[in-house]
A = this chain, B = another copy of it.
């Protein structure tokens, strides 16, 4: 064995003309090292073949600085793309903080817990980001019991919140739909219908509540008028055609961009078949690429802000125990305001 020839931290430091500590920093906390210095150290590491350093670093720090993220099965829906955008944003923010994202897939919750264990025990993954929380979530319970750092994109939907007092970030859908409805009320619309999902989904019910909230702020608004359907373009088209048979309805607030896209086709047909009917204003939810493509007013989920808070909450959990600060529930539970993106479909003469 040419053991004496193996490059060490010292030989790298010498080659890069920096201190041993600087080389160590490049390996353990690259974000504290100036770019030019880091490049020089990396070049020296490369020339000398000092590899794989991650192994030594991990043995030393007992941290891999890698976060696990499950990729859901490729979604058929238009709205599933929010998670794809979140994945992009998370990778970017994590990288800036010196963390990497490792992907995995899994089937049901039990299978996902097995993957957590696998990734934590044998691949040294330090923490996890979970999307798509649901009532009675066994995954968050397991991670909490194991004291593995994690954060969820999505609040716990259990009735009993105390059962899941973990760190989470979510979008305030209620407030987003409130803003969309207010936008239409402010423009003078009075009979506004809501096209929603079937009752019983936490996310859908929360958005519907925002519509009701907004109507209550304007005494002259017509009473709530709701049509419910499964998410989709054809279902949205049928629901819109149905509710628009009433000529007094001049605006539609949709729970998703898919349903809004269907409504858009129904509105287009009406413009031809009943040209004297009042025009119809329309809003969607998620600000998907297709919303931008067809000029649809929609509610945007600021996934970059979600990603930034997720990384912050994870880093605070990953600190050595003696440096950890106890966070209040208010700090660990973050509800982010979405943003109404006004485009052509909501700006029609009343």
Residues of chain A whose beta carbon lies under 8 Å from any beta carbon of chain B: 26-27, 30, 39, 42, 45-46, 50-59, 62, 64, 66, 71-78, 80-81, 84-85, 87-89, 91-92, 95, 100-105, 114, 117-118, 120-124, 232-234, 258, 261, 265, 268-269, 272-273, 289-290, 292-295
Contact = CB atoms under 8 A, between A and B. Distances in A.
A54 B124 contact: yes
Sort A-B residue pairs by CB-CB distance and give the 9 closest, nearest first: A272-B272, A52-B124, A55-B58, A55-B55, A233-B293, A54-B124, A74-B88, A84-B84, A91-B103
Contacts of A66: 102
User: Quick one: copies of this chain in the complex?
Assistant: 2
Given A58-B54, A62-B51, A104-B100, A91 B71 contact: yes
Nearest to A53: B122
A51 to B, nearest CB: 6
B53 A71 contact: no
Contacts of A91: 71, 103-105
Given A52-B58, A272-B272, A121 B74 contact: no
Given A55-B54, A59-B55, A76 B122 contact: no
